[in-house]
Amino acid sequence: MTVRPFRSALYIPGSKERALEKARDLPVDAILFDLEDAVAPDEKANARVTLAAALTEGVYGERYKIVRMNGLETEWGADDAAAIAEMDCDAVLVPKVNSAADIDPVVERMQGKPVWAMMETPLAVINAAGIAAHPAVEGFVLGTNDLAKDLGTRKAPRREPLLYALQACLMAARAHGVIALDGVYNAFKDDEGLAEECEQGRDMGYDGKTLIHPAQIEITNRIFAPTEAEIDLARRQIAAFDEAIAKGQAVAVVDGKIVENLHIVTARATLAKAEAIAALEG
């Protein structure tokens, strides 16, 4: 899996020139340029033109640029796909993916661009492993609002009604080397709630979180980044393990805990992520 950080991915309406301009300076790892839910039906055609022009200017730096299209089953989907294939973006995000078969007709139109799948329906969760195994799929984006709607769930502590879906999608993503981004947190003025949900997604293993407002960026970036303590521990684990191997031993001890090769894999991943974040922010 790529070490490129995906701590934060902010939705930006493709039809809003001012929002597209402001996004140039936001410290997000990825931008989800939206042609779907955030754009009114009578603005769909204009949004394609507006977004294509903004991307052509090449002002988004190292931010990963993903464009969410309307589904091919809609009246706008085919035109979206044709336009996105020509846009200066890194990937396309497909809504309402129910199975791997839904990916194929998009791939045919994308001229080699990677595909990301919105995991926002019960069928998507059920078929998550097959979707993640599709060779064109690079990432999952959890659509927790739509999932909650379809399941008829109520708000509960720690997102308990959605835990199966969150874990099933993450398991499939990890099994096939796919990036996994957690769903949005709707209360963009609730910093405490956002932090708690970010910590939950991070602790589960998600790469980052999708956002609906720039005010959510700082908290999300901080929580999904390795801490100084984690970086220090990783360095000490690697040094101790290397020393043990040089002495013909298979394990080391750091802070009173056994360190084996599996811990070193995690430690190196931690350092690689920290270095990638530093390079992105540099």
Q: State residue 3's pLDDT score.
A: 78
Q: State residue 2's pLDDT score.
A: 52
Q: For residue 10, how many C-alpha atoms fall within 13 Å in the half-sphere facing its CB?
A: 24
Closest CA to 57 of 29, 82, 23: 23
68 touches 33 (CB < 8 A)? yes
Contacts of 98 (CB under 8 A, 6+ apart): 121, 123, 124, 127
| Torsion sign over Cα 191, 193, 197, 203 | positive
The tens-digit pLDDT sequence of the chain (282 residues) is: 457 999 999 999 999 999 999 999 999 999 999 999 999 999 999 999 999 999 999 899 999 999 999 999 999 999 999 999 999 999 999 999 999 999 999 999 999 999 999 999 999 999 999 999 999 999 999 999 999 999 999 989 999 999 999 999 999 999 999 999 999 999 999 999 999 999 999 999 999 999 999 999 999 999 999 999 999 999 999 999 999 999 999 999 999 999 999 999 999 999 999 999 999 887
For the entire predicted model, the pTM comes to 0.95
Q: What are residue 254's DSSP bridge partners? A: 257
| C-alpha to C-alpha distance for 193 and 191, rounded to whole angstroms | 6
For the chain, the distance separating the N- and C-terminal CA atoms, rounded to the nearest angstrom, is 22
161 touches 153 (CB < 8 A)? yes
